[in-house]
Amino acid sequence: MLSISGITLLAKRNKKAGCGFLILLVFVIIALFADAITDHKPSKRVARPHQAPSAEHIMGTTRMGRDVYTQFVHGTQTSLAVGFSAGLIIMALGTVLGISAGYFGGKVDDFISFLTNIALVIPQLPLLLVLAAFIGQSSPTTIALIIGFTSWAWGARVTRAQTLALTRKEFIQSAELGGESRLRIIFVELMPNLASIIGANFIGSILYTVITQATIEFLGLGDPLSISWGTMLYNAQTTSAMHVGAWWEIVVPAAAIAILGMALALLNFAIDEVSNPKLRTFSGLRVFNKRVALIEYEKALGVQGANS
Amino acid sequence: MRFVTRRLFFYVIAFFFAATFNFLLPRMMPGDPITAMFVSQGNPLSQETIEALKITFGFVNGPLHLQYLAYLKSVFTWDLGYSVQYYPLTVNEVLNRSILWTLFLVGVSSLISFSIGSIAGIYAAWNRGGVFDTLFSPLSLVLQSMPAVIISLLFLFTFAVSLDWLPTGYAYNIDLDPGWNFTYLSSVAEHAIMPIFTLVIVQVGGYLITIRNNMINLLGEDYIVMARAKGLSEMRVMLNYGARNAMLPSVTTFAMTIGVVLGGSLITEYVFNYPGLGNTLYQAIVNRDYPVIQGQLLIMTLAMLTMNFLADVAYVYLDPRLRNA
């Protein structure tokens, strides 16, 4: 698994990763210390409606006279929580299903692959919208659950393909011949080598979840009383903030989603580069430095010299 | 050909599963959506009226398996009943009104994205580490991570509301009569600019990255070295030897993206009040128009299955190794 030291090393050696990681860190800090950096509840009316950004309200106020900055901070908390929890569900399901299908093969593989392929050809977003609407005013928790349990297919497919490729390599076969238990092979031999795929799946899923949650809520299918980036957009839209020129009400949540998306995309790009050295762009002496970095990084990950 | 038949068989089964899921969805939800739909119309209705309405809109009473059989029959004969919201229009009529607009948005934006993404990806891979690659490859990933909601809202705010360069919504100027004349067509084009560009931004990065990464993986192959050694021009090696093979996985991407594009189109149509399938679905969801929702989900599934099947066929055509598989 991607350990903390692995991530920091990756961040240190790869500029894109460093950049993405830093931005993500800022959002996490905002979310963790939401109560400390705001001084009232996000739903409290504190000023006249639609005040432009000023020293007192640095991101302006909404139609209801609520402080956009406070809403943004608490929205960060909700959006990240939903993103991380759905991301975890997707990663767990994708990894378990993918490894089972790829490693056990046979009937297990047939069954899981069939499920995966079906899930892949069903249109995601329309289905999620219909689900959210049928459940009615879905709370952030509900949204996290429905996204988590409907979006695992892509991760499962990629993990399965990689597991299949690894299973054919000598080091797995020698482990099998050496009589290692299947559990040990999965956790000690396979998992470390799947780290980059699992990590990419996790990060991609967080991104997907944050975007999808915002979309569901923007369309008014979420719980209008919860505070998140999506409901901020929804409220801005329903109070026609755009047409009265209250751009800050739209731009703040939009920028938050865009910047978080950018950070996660950069992290994923970096993971791709580290796991597939061909994709990296070398020049001159940096080749050597990066090779060293890669070896250190792999040591940190506990990779068992299987990247041949 | 066995490959194609096998895939076709799979898609039929997949459609069957999707249709079944579609049937179970409203029935799994808490409460009785069928009654809720009519009661929420306002005035209380007598039991007979509700029964009559249920029959009109194709809801069959009785045990689940009989309902299911009736449902399957309606799906496979594509007789989806009446729309609740637009009664007396049938579901088919409602879908027919909007499907062309969505096809237009999705088709044009996919073609643009595929062309731009592929050319830029090939170029970036060929000159990897160059200015273009360092700048545009990460940028395209960042663009790809921008949700359609954000892009369309920012477009709407900037170009329609603030600058007033482009119309804020709908597919054409409603004062015009649809017809094959210049005024109408230019109005359609003007109204389509922002939705199409939103969808291009959502897709283009995916194509660029796929083809760039494939191409880079290919560049070390023997046949590329061979082509170079033969003294072929750079252009020829890049296009005929590199790009041609790197394009292959993009065909799959093309089919896979259709789901993303349909989703993106849904939200874009909503923001720009564009009369396509997505907007119709949204209106149906808000108004609890179950027959239309079901028809929408079916038609979107069908679109995805068709695209995937076409991609499979294209794959067989492009990759000779699959022909005997």
B269 CA: distance to closest CA in chain A (Å): 12
- Give chain B positions within 8 Å (CB) of A126: 262-263, 266, 278, 281, 296-297, 300
| Cβ pair A122:B301 closer than 8 A | yes
Residue B170 tokens read as: 């709908």
Q: Is the dihedral of CA A95, A100, A103, A106 positive or negative?
A: negative
**Cβ–Cβ under 8 Å, residues A53 and A60:** yes
Q: A215–B25: do the CB atoms touch at under 8 Å?
A: no
Q: Å from B208 to nearest chain A CA? A: 13
**What predicted TM-score, i.e. pTM, was given to this entire model?**
0.82
> What tokens does A120 get?
């892949």
| B32 has pLDDT over 60 | no
Instruction: Compute the nearest-CA separation of B157 from chain A (Å).
Output: 6
B202 pLDDT above the threshold of 60: yes
Taking Cα atoms as reference points, which of A262, A266, A245 lies closest to residue A254? Answer: A262
Q: What is the mean pLDDT of residues B74-89?
A: 77
- Region B123-139: mean pLDDT is 82
pLDDT tens string B228-276: 888 888 888 888 888 888 887 777 777 777 877 888 888 888 888 888 8
Point out the residue among A121, A269, A272 whose CB comes nearest to the CB of B305: A121
Task: Tell me whether residues B25 and A123 touch, CB distance under 8 A.
Answer: no
**Phi, psi (5° rounding) for residue A223?**
-80, 115
Structure token digits, residue B315: 């794959």
Q: What are the domain boundaries of chain A?
A: 4-275
ipTM: 0.80
* Residues A121, B14: C-beta atoms closer than 8 Å: yes
CATH class for domain A4-275? mainly alpha
Tell me the C-alpha distance between A86 and A143, whole Å. 9
Using CB atoms, pick whichever of B144, B281, B305 lies closest to residue A126: B281
pLDDT: which is higher, B255 or A86: A86
A123–B300 C-beta distance less than 8 A = yes
- Give contacts of B25 with chain A, Cβ < 8 Å: 130-131, 134
Q: Which residue has the higher pLDDT, B324 or A211?
A: A211
The CA distance from A125 to the nearest CA of chain B, in Å, is: 5
Q: How far is B43 from chain A (nearest CA, A)?
A: 22
- The shortest CB-CB distance from A16 to any of B138, B270, B296 is to B138
Interface test with A, best of B11, B142, B289 (most A CBs within 10 A): B142
* Pairwise pLDDT comparison (B86 vs A220), residue with the higher score: A220
Helix A124-135 and helix B248-271: axis angle, to 10°? 40
* Chain A residues whose beta carbon lies within 8 Å of the beta carbon of residue B10: 117
- Burial label, B283 (beta-carbon count in 10 A; 0-12, 13-18, 19+): middle
Residue B165: strand, helix, or coil: coil
The residue of chain B with its CA nearest to that of A127 is B297
With CA atoms as reference, the chain A residue closest to B220 would be A278
pLDDT > 70 fraction of chain A, expressed in percent and rounded: 79
Distances (CA, A) of B27 to A19, A131, B24, B197: 47, 12, 5, 39
